[in-house]
Structure 1
Amino acid sequence: MNDENLSVFIDAVVNYFECTADDPVKVGTPYLDSESAPALFDYTGIIGISGARKGCVYFSAPRALLRHLLLSMGEDDMAQENLLDVVGEVANTLSGNARGHFGSEFMISVPVVVTGVPEGIHLPKALRSYVIPVYWKAYSAAVVISLEG
């Protein structure tokens, strides 16, 4: 994963929030996750990647960020289903934008969404995993990229 490839995901985060949110998003400096312990918040949308590159991309955010994101999109129903939908939508959109850059051999799965900090989720030790900190309003979230190549 080089700087150009990381910038694809950074640009995708910025573009997503520009199109759907009422306040701009700030993206922190990406860093290498050296512990193979994923950065997780209350809700996580995970996209499996196959094809020329294998691994995963996920977006994880606290409940309050997702609630405010739904409100900024004009949705006032804060049901669990909507929170799960929006975290999966963000992960899917980011991965879909990356697919536009990497090409048709960058195959993405449907999002898997989880709540809480699931036990037993570890990033592959053989892959270098990068965390992109995301700051919106008063909240922190993360995009994690763990890909071959």
Structure 2
Amino acid sequence: MTEDKLQIFIDGVSRYFEHTEGNDLRVGTPYLAANSEPVSMDYTGIIGVSGSSKGCVYFTAPKAMLKHMILSLGEPDTSEANMVDLVGEVANTISGNARRELGKEFMISVPVVVSGTPSRVHLPADLRSYVVPATWRSYHAAVVICLQR
């Protein structure tokens, strides 16, 4: 993956968090991770990718962060249903922004959300994923990009 392509995903997560109160997002240095143990937290929104690239993009975050984000977006209901919706929305927004930049051949699915450690996320063993760490307030989350051409 080129640096320019990776930057598209970094910009996507930054743009999403511009809508939160205080906009206190810090994006860390992306790194490569082995797919044998996918990076995951309490909730993970996964977007399947097909077309010119194949694989997935996902956003993973702890429960406490999602509750705080919901409140910062002006929604008082921090139920599990809203946390599931939010993590899926973040993943979908990041992937949708990438699709706008990469063209219609970069096809994305609707989000699938997994609660808890996503043991059902099976990433190709022969590939490595790019992990983009993000810190919002004191919470740590990540965007993970696993694509092959």
Report the TM range for the smaller structure's normalisation: over 0.9
Which residue of structure 2 lines up, in the alignment, with residue 30 of structure 1?
Answer: 30
Which residue of structure 2 lines up, in the alignment, with residue 125 of structure 1?
Answer: 125
Count of residues in correspondence between the two structures = 149
> Structure 1: 5+ residue runs without aligned partners?
none
The 1:20–1:95 alpha-carbon spacing in structure 2 relative to 1, beyond 3 Å, is same
3-state DSSP of counterpart to 1:38? coil
Deviates more, 1:18-27 or 1:42-51: 18-27
Question: Any conservation in 2 of the 1:42–1:116 contact (CA below 8 Å)?
Answer: yes
For 1:50 and 1:121, the matched residues in 2 are separated by 16
Give the partner amino acid of 1:20. T
Matched, 1:8 2:8: yes
Deviating above 6 A after TM superposition, structure 1's stretches of 4 or more consecutive aligned residues are: none
Deviates more, 1:16-25 or 1:92-101: 16-25
Map 1:77-92 to 2 at 5 A: 77-92=77-92
Map 1:44-83 to 2 at 5 A: 44-83=44-83
Question: Any conservation in 1 of the 2:58–2:143 contact (CA below 8 Å)?
Answer: yes
3-state DSSP of counterpart to 1:14? helix
Question: Any conservation in 2 of the 1:36–1:129 contact (CA below 8 Å)?
Answer: no
Q: TM-score, normalised by structure 2?
A: 0.95
For 1:35 and 1:59, the matched residues in 2 are separated by 15
Shift of 1:141: 0.3
Matched, 1:42 2:63: no
Which residue of structure 1 lines up, in the alignment, with residue 115 of structure 2?
Answer: 115
Q: Percent identity, please.
A: 58
For 1:96 and 1:144, the matched residues in 2 are separated by 15
For 1:117 and 1:148, the matched residues in 2 are separated by 24
3-state DSSP of counterpart to 1:135? strand
Question: Any conservation in 2 of the 1:37–1:122 contact (CA below 8 Å)?
Answer: no
For 1:42 and 1:121, the matched residues in 2 are separated by 13
Q: TM-score, normalised by structure 1?
A: 0.95
Deviations 1:13-62 (A, max 9, x none): 11110123433200110000125311100000000001111000000000
The 1:76–1:38 alpha-carbon spacing in structure 2 relative to 1, beyond 3 Å, is same
Q: CA RMSD in A?
A: 1.2
Give the partner amino acid of 1:26. R
For 1:109 and 1:11, the matched residues in 2 are separated by 20
For 1:50 and 1:35, the matched residues in 2 are separated by 19
